[in-house]
Amino acid sequence: MKAYRGQPSIFNAIKHKEIRAQLEVKDLSLNFGGVKALSDVNLSVSTGELVAVIGPNGAGKTSLLNCITGFYTPQKGKIFFNGVDITHLPPHDLVRLGIGRTFQNIELFPGMTVLSNMLLARHNHCHYGFGSACIFSSSMRREEVRHRRILEELIDFLEMQAIRKKPVGSLPYGLMKRVELGRALALEPVLLILDEPFSGMNLEEKEDMVRFLTELNKSWGQTMILVEHDMSVVMSISPRIAVLNFGQKLAEGNPDEIRTHPEVIKAYLGDTVHG
């Protein structure tokens, strides 16, 4: 990973600071009318971990992420982040606490450039007011330089230099997913939640994304929760995997344990895992 010499790096901040990202999901239940999306789900994520959540379609994976990120409010159970009960907090408060995410369906502004889309994510780190912006004060200019420096660092890391000024809507789907990751990283999240970041990608794009996520986690200590359908990817990068089925946690363990778990195989993995 490249960094600008002599200047602070947000990646170095992740690596060298004592940043906690301890998540505890306890007995979480979520209903939509008579449909049980989640039923007494428990999950823990420790600082520096990359934990994958897998399961067949409709298993409750995205519902779980939506509860953690404040888009859904569960009927039962609690979610704690670094010891703070965040069960009923709205998404913008969770972003301030350091929880960032990408979405299964891309949520970018297609008419804006890659750089502009990523710059939007810096709003939480802007400290100047309306007056300073109107007169373009020296403090505001210094802060803008810092934001741009961080974004250029992310663009460099994600190898998006060639597309930085292109409208997002003109990019292939796989590159849009990379921009979405960049925007989430621009929030400087303590906990990064990824909802199917590999969907719609070709093999080369998946290999690039694997490289980026592995570098973030192993070299820089970024804590992550990954929801993904591509089992080859999950098994290769995640040391711990939780399996959901019909809203319940079916199993949890390392890739070898999940590969051979009879209930997991019965639920949806089948013989493809052994091939």
Among 234, 220, 208, smallest CA distance to 3 is for 220
Distance, in Å, from the CA atom of 256 to the CA atom of 240, rounded to the nearest integer, reads 10
Average pLDDT over residues 14-36: 83
Of the pLDDT bands very low, low, confident and very high (cuts 50, 70, 90), residue 267 is confident
Show the tokens assigned to 210: 């694997």
Angstrom distances, CA of residue 159 to CA of 175, 182, 205, 211: 10, 10, 12, 11
Which pLDDT score, from 0 to 100, does residue 146 have? 73
3-class DSSP assignment, residue 80: strand
Which pLDDT score, from 0 to 100, does residue 5 have? 38
Q: What is the pLDDT of residues 214-236, one digit of tens each?
A: 999 988 899 999 999 888 899 99
Among 219, 209, 217, 220, smallest CA distance to 238 is for 217
- Give me Rg for the CA atoms of the chain: 19
Q: Mean pLDDT, the chain, as a whole number?
A: 85
- 264's enclosing H/E stretch is helix 262-264
Half-sphere exposure of residue 37: CA atoms within 13 angstroms, side-chain side: 18
Distance, in Å, from the CA atom of 224 to the CA atom of 222, rounded to the nearest integer, reads 6
Half-sphere exposure of residue 227: CA atoms within 13 angstroms, side-chain side: 23
Asked whether the predicted pLDDT for residue 65 surpasses 70, the reply is yes
Q: What is the pLDDT of residues 117-172, one digit of tens each?
A: 998 887 666 655 555 555 555 666 566 667 688 888 999 999 999 999 999 999 99
Which pLDDT score, from 0 to 100, does residue 107 have? 81
Residues in a beta bridge with 28: 41
Show the tokens assigned to 188: 């400087």
Angstrom distances, CA of residue 60 to CA of 13, 129, 182: 34, 41, 26
Distance, in Å, from the CA atom of 264 to the CA atom of 21, rounded to the nearest integer, reads 28
Q: Walk me through the domains of the chain, giving residue ranges and CATH numbers.
A: 10-17+34-102+173-273 (3.40.50.300)
Distance, in Å, from the CA atom of 55 to the CA atom of 209, rounded to the nearest integer, reads 21
- By the 8 A CB rule, do 197 and 100 touch? no
